[in-house]
């Protein structure tokens, strides 16, 4: 009997799961590795950070997903891959070293702080569920602290929330903070006047949502400024953020803000390779050919955010979006299932969208742009459909309906993780 080739997939995100669902398990043994035991849904992290959604409603256990008919035959091991040895064809996590015949890297990206000193320790980020929960805690802590602060200067800093990066995530976070200011603070923090709260969105280029149409940028700017009282600063690049909460810009301007939400950059998840040196590509992504094979390797593929795939349309690489990851995962599985009929990957752009508080969103579908309430309904429908699990879809929908009619949520909790001090971090 022919032995099956062993495929290891690093990452149970959009790319990894779509690959696992399509790959022919009668031909391959498939093992998926992830440092979390759940699949997460980054597009809604900002709602976790602003207390609008419970993190469990946008997460789905990988082992539960293994029971999905399309996943049957796949195995899951929990662990963070640290090294990839292309000579021995093994990957190593904190728990084990595992051999592979084919490796699929679908590990996504992490924050890029562009070498700005000590930024990681001081800013709030949104690249994982844990980071979104931490951001929620930090925001709520500032509000609690400000509610009892009497020194006006200290109050001003506590109540200034700066968001760096005017892409979709920055716009969505700033919009959510603007809504908190408008609907929540006046009701739940009687000692804070909403006028004391400042939300400032800072973008280095001359417009918000630079990857979307000019109409979307203009609509987002108008809605943030006029409806949500968000201050928007364009053409401003941050140079440093010190321990006193002072943001300094390259033009010499400064802003004092105790909370800084960083959405300005991402870089590929790093791995230590043995026997292979990746080609330098923007965002430290792994360069792949049209079949998603990593340049310079025979048996390693990369899909999703971590991969860098250029073609005539996407001359600076495909966008780092969920649809790209899903389509690459599907195409790679089809190609491995049927190598004699393999087809090059071509991204089918289904459009992009961003929301700016409730009732407002912008949508670009090829050359067609629309904004406002209908765009917001489309945004909600697309996100609900993309969530894994019926329970999650139902919980998120109920939360949204509840919040729409009451402008309230009971999720604004400061919850800090606690670990048994005698348990080593890796449970080794």
Check residue 207 and report its DSSP letter: S
Q: Which is nearer to ligand FAD, 341 or 366 (CB)?
A: 366
> DSSP assignment, residue 81?
E
* Closest by CA position to 397, among listed 408, 412, 385: 385
Contact present, 389 and 59 (Cβ < 8 Å): no
203 lines the binding site for ligand FAD (CB under 6 A)? no
Q: Which of 325, 375, 387, 388 is the binder for ligand FAD (CB under 6 A)?
A: 325
Regarding 323 and contact with ligand FAD (CB under 6 A), the answer is yes
Min dist. Cβ of residue 25 to ligand FAD (A): 20
**Which sign does the torsion angle of CA 145, 151, 156, 157 carry?**
negative
Select from 5, 36, 267, 337 the one that contacts ligand FAD (CB under 6 A): 36
Answer yes or no: are the C-beta atoms of 143 and 190 closer than 8 Å.
no
- Cβ nearer to ligand FAD, comparing 13 with 51: 13
CB-hemisphere CA count at 13 Å for 95? Answer: 12
**Could you tell me the maximum CA-CA distance found in the chain, to the nearest angstrom?**
78
Residue 178 CB, shortest distance to ligand FAD, in Å, is 17
Candidates 29-37, 68-76, 233-241, 252-260; binding stretch for ligand FAD (CB under 6 A)? 29-37
Q: Residue from 92, 292, 320, 330 that binds ligand FAD (CB under 6 A)? A: 320
Nearer to ligand FAD, 192 or 354 (CB): 354
Query: What contacts 78, CB < 8 A, 6 or more positions away?
Result: 33, 34, 35, 37, 95
What are residue 119's DSSP bridge partners?
none
- For the CB of residue 382, give the shortest distance to ligand FAD in the complex, in Å: 9
Binding positions for ligand FAD, 88-127, rule CB under 6 A: 106-108, 126-127
Instruction: Give all strands (DSSP E) within 285-413, no chain letters.
Output: 286-287, 300-302, 307-308, 352-355, 361-365, 368-371
81 binds ligand FAD (CB under 6 A): yes
Closest residue to ligand FAD: CB criterion: 13
Distance of CA 127 to the CA centre of its chain: 5
389 binds ligand FAD per the rule CB under 6 A: no
Smallest gap from Cβ 70 to ligand FAD, in A, equals 16
Among 7, 14, 28, 232, binds ligand FAD (CB under 6 A): 14
Least Å from the CB of residue 50 to ligand FAD: 12
If we measure between CA atoms, which residue out of 54, 154, 20, 43 comes closest to residue 402? 54
Using CB under 6 A as the criterion, which residues of the chain lie in contact with ligand FAD when the complex forms? Answer: 10-16, 33-36, 42-43, 45, 80-81, 106-108, 126-127, 168-169, 269, 304-306, 320-323, 325
């Amino acid at each position: 009997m022919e032995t099956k080739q062993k495929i290891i997939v690093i990452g149970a995100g959009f790319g990894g799961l779509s690959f696992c669902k399509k790959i022919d398990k009668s031909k391959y043994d498939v093992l998926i590795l992830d440092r979390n035991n759940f699949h997460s849904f980054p597009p809604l992290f900002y709602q976790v950070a602003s207390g609008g959604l419970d993190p469990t409603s946008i997460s789905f256990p990988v082992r539960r997903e293994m029971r999905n008919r399309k996943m049957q035959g796949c195995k899951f091991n929990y662990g963070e891959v640290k090294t990839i040895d292309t000579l021995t064809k093994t990957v190593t996590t904190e728990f084990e070293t595992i051999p592979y015949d084919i490796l699929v890297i679908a590990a996504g990206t992490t924050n890029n702080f562009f070498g700005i000193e000590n930024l990681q320790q001081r800013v709030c980020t949104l690249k994982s569920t844990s980071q979104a929960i931490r951001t929620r805690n930090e925001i709520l802590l500032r509000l609690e602290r400000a509610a009892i602060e009497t020194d006006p200067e200290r109050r001003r800093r506590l109540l200034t929330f700066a968001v760096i990066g005017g892409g979709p995530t920055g716009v969505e976070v700033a919009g959510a903070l603007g809504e908190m200011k408008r609907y929540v603070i006046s009701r739940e923090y009687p000692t804070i006047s909403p006028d004391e709260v400042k939300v400032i969105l800072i973008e280095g280029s001359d417009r918000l949502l630079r990857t979307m149409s000019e109409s979307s940028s203009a609509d987002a700017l108008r809605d943030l400024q006029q409806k949500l009282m968000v201050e928007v600063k364009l053409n401003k690049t941050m140079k440093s953020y010190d321990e006193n909460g002072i943001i300094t810009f390259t033009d010499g301007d400064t802003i004092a803000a105790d909370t800084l939400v960083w959405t300005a950059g991402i870089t590929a998840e790093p791995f230590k390779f043995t026997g292979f040196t990746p080609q330098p590509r923007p965002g430290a992504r792994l360069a792949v050919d049209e079949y998603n094979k990593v340049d310079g390797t025979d048996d390693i593929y990369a899909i999703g955010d971590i991969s860098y795939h250029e073609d005539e349309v996407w001359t600076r690489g495909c966008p780092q979006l969920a649809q790209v990851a899903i389509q690459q995962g599907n195409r790679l599985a089809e190609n491995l299932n049927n190598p004699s009929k393999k087809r090059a990957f071509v991204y089918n752009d289904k459009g992009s969208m961003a929301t700016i508080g409730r009732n407002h969103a912008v949508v670009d579908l090829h050359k067609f742009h629309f904004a406002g309430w209908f765009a917001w309904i489309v945004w909600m429908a697309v996100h609900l459909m993309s969530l894994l699990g019926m329970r999650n879809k139902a919980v998120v929908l109920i939360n949204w309906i509840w919040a729409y009619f009451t402008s309230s949520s009971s999720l604004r909790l400061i919850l800090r993780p606690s670990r048994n001090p005698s348990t080593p971090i890796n449970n080794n």
